[in-house]
Amino acid sequence: MKLEKQGKQGRQRQPNARLRQQRLLRGWSLQRVVEELCKLAAEEERLPGVNEAMVSNWENGRKKPSPFYQERLCKLYRMSAAQLGFMEPLIFPSVNLLEVDQPGFSVFQPYAACTDCSISQF
């Protein structure tokens, strides 16, 4: 029986296909990504500590890049954190768009239905 590896919070680790795709679209090796990240960090007078194994871990989902490297990867690929798969998708409650378009619809409608609520005046 094969066990799936899980992250710290019990979720199954997922490869970051978006990050890997951006590298491959450019025809870059892992080493090239390291070099480009080092150039970006040097421009900001920061000392990077990145290597090929780290980039591979980010792409394969074994590790997540720190905020420092997320920012540099966004600059490197000229993409947002969401586009590179660094952000968890936001989950919003579903809204029936047909209802929203109706006259008198309010997102506060559940509160408006409260007829015995009173707001104290100062």
Q: How many Å apart are CA 93 and CA 87, to the nearest integer?
A: 18
Residue 45 belongs to a domain: yes
Number of domains in the chain: 1
pLDDT confidence bin for 112, thresholds 50/70/90 = very low
Which residues form the domain of 24? 17-77
* SS3 label, residue 6: strand
Residue 52 belongs to a domain: yes
Residue 104 belongs to a domain: no
Q: How many degrees, rounded to 5, is the angle at CA 39 between CA 35 and CA 43?
A: 170
Residue 41 belongs to a domain: yes
Residue 92 belongs to a domain: no
Q: What is the pLDDT of residues 41-80, one digit of tens each?
A: 888 888 778 999 999 999 999 999 999 999 999 999 999 9
φ, ψ at 84 (rounded to 5°):
-90, 5
Residue 122 belongs to a domain: no
